[in-house]
Structure 1
Amino acid sequence: MLTNTATWWTFLLIFMRITAFMVTAPLFSGRQIPAQYKIGISVVLSILCAGVIKEPIGSLPLGTISLLIFKELFVGVVLGLTANIMFYAVQLAGTLIDLQVGFSMANLFDPTFGTNTQLTGSLKNILAILVMLSTNGHHLLIQGVLASFDWIHLQAVVPAWNDGRVSSFLLECFQQMFMIGFMMAAPIIGTLFIVDFSLGIIARTVPQMNIFAVMPPVKMLIYFLIYILILPSFFYLLNVLLETMFGSMSSILKIMGG
């Protein structure tokens, strides 16, 4: 009976961590994946992990079990949030570009993040998801949450809760996210700024021209031309983004497991 109870407690703690990760991780947390599939994936992964855990949970007080459940939820949320923060750079770049072009008035619902996003942001999100799936990035995400049990054991405490290392690392992830997002949007934003400056000079020198009727189609035309030219660089930056995302997941495991 003790073995059965220990197995159930072990399964519950593993399920809590994996489920919290699925709720916050990129791609898996999107609303395009039904909740039944997320729960099913979490159950299957928990069953596989429960059979290989070397230190199953024994008979512990209810208060200790409650703290362990909270810890597993914290570990899963932080691990998934670390990956999702980096993935937000794609949406940030699209938002900045559409704000400069004038597409910000046309918002679309993005099921990946569950929010309204602009046209370019939605296109970049779709491309990023396709690249992640084509490079087996979703396998690496699952591998990351499974590897967390080697770094952070079920009965281990997380000393990084109190010393501020987790929050400091998340702030660094935000910094990297903004940097990569600005790098993705900088070519188009810089080009359109020059276009706005040139059209402003034309409006001052040729007041007879209705610049407000000419500016939107000119900016859209230049936007599409520049976007086609810099599309290969977007995939390069996306590769940098994915490498940074998986590196951040490895770093946060070392921080919480240390």
Structure 2
Amino acid sequence: MSALTITAEQINGYVGLFMWPLFRVAGLLSIMPVLGGGEVPVKVRVGLAFMITLLIVPSLDSMPQLDPLSADSVLVSVQQLIIGVAMGLMVLIVFNAVTMAGESIAVTMGLGFAMLNDPQNGSQVPTVSQFYLILATLLFLAFNGHHAILLLLTASFTYLPVGQPLGEDAIWTLLTWGGIVFKGALSIALPALAAMLTVNIIMGVITRAAPQLNLFSVGFPITMTVGFLSILFTLPSFQVSFESLLTLVQTTIVAFLRG
């Protein structure tokens, strides 16, 4: 009976089959909100990366036959990590747009001083931003956004196989997507900002007509009340705007992978 023999090439193939997809998955989970990022413990992210990689590996094609300790293998590993981080960054930008929209509304309604710690970004943000961020997280889960991103992660190995370099337009696509922070924030905050701008104009006219009126004692409660009412009545439009951003980020990730 012949003994089972395993060659060095087979070992390198097995290592590469798991190692390179793991780097792409770990890169995504290192920065992506909800599933990863700073609010998720490192041990949970590492375990989740291993589990997702084990589920993805059987559906992948053969990997490049490279020595795991060679310079070419290190280059491929870094490339997979960059691809994963870039995909997670695109999703993170959508949530940053929501945070910026909340900051704009909070400053306009006079609640810019009410700050809370944001574990995702490691900084303090207004309370209104934190409210919008929690709402966006719940909508992301309700829309099965986490499922869509994981399916897109699996399809990324078809769009951009391991060992294939990024296209010439990939970096430009990523840089252009950064502008969605301002466009998305404006689309979310515009209804509430328009309502509060109208109130500020009315208060300005009243103050001009009656200079003896104390603007700080009257205007601040009115502005805050209108701000809360604006947030309440614009929640349906927030859902539509956030859903369109999630759809757009999936299209942009595909365009990034295809270069």
Compute the TM-score of the two structures, normalised by the length of structure 1.
Answer: 0.90
Partner of 1:109: 117
Give the Cα separation in 2 of the matches to 1:130 and 1:223. 22
CA contact (8 A) 2:31 2:38 kept: no
Give the counterpart of 1:187 among 191, 202, 205: 191
Tell me, yes or no, if structure 1 residue 242 matches structure 2 residue 246.
yes
* Structure 2: tracts of 5 or more residues without a match: 1-6
Partner of 1:153: 161
Partner of 1:53: 60
Give the Cα separation in 2 of the matches to 1:190 and 1:179. 16
C-alpha displacement of 1:113: 3.0
C-alpha displacement of 1:59: 3.8
Alignment of 1:208-219 (within 5 A): 208-219=212-223
Give the Cα separation in 2 of the matches to 1:52 and 1:170. 27
CA contact (8 A) 2:32 2:91 kept: yes
C-alpha displacement of 1:112: 3.0
Partner of 1:206: 210
Tell me, yes or no, if structure 1 residue 67 matches structure 2 residue 71.
no
Give the counterpart of 1:3 among 3, 10, 20: 10
Give the Cα separation in 1 of the matches to 2:230 and 2:56. 48
C-alpha displacement of 1:5: 2.7
Counterpart AA for 1:208: Q
CA contact (8 A) 1:7 1:57 kept: no
How many residues align structurally? 251
Q: Which portions of structure 1, spanning 4 or more consecutive aligned residues, are displaced by more than 4 angstroms?
A: none
Alignment of 1:6-155 (within 5 A): 6-60=13-67, 62-155=70-163
CA contact (8 A) 1:100 1:192 kept: yes
Partner of 2:256: 252
Q: Higher relative contact order by CA 8 Å / sep ≥ 6: 1 or 2?
A: 1
C-alpha displacement of 1:117: 1.4
C-alpha displacement of 1:16: 0.9
Partner of 2:3: none
C-alpha displacement of 1:30: 3.3
C-alpha displacement of 1:10: 2.4
Distance 1:59 1:212, change over 3 A: closer
Partner of 1:225: 229
CA contact (8 A) 2:102 2:130 kept: yes
Question: In percent, how many aligned pairs have the same letter?
Answer: 25
Give the Cα separation in 2 of the matches to 1:86 and 1:121. 13
Between 171-180 and 134-143, report the one with greater CA deviation. Answer: 171-180
Compute the TM-score of the two structures, normalised by the length of structure 2.
Answer: 0.90
C-alpha displacement of 1:192: 1.4
C-alpha displacement of 1:36: 1.1
Specify the SS of the correspondent of 1:4.
Answer: helix
Counterpart AA for 2:172: S
* Structure 1: tracts of 5 or more residues without a match: none
C-alpha displacement of 1:253: 1.7
Instruction: Deviation per CA, 1:33-76: give whole Å up to 9, x if none.
Output: 22111101101122223333321342437111111111111111
Q: Quick check: which one's helix share is greater?
A: 1
Give the Cα separation in 1 of the matches to 2:177 and 2:189. 18
Between 63-72 and 176-185, report the one with greater CA deviation. Answer: 176-185
CA contact (8 A) 2:170 2:255 kept: no
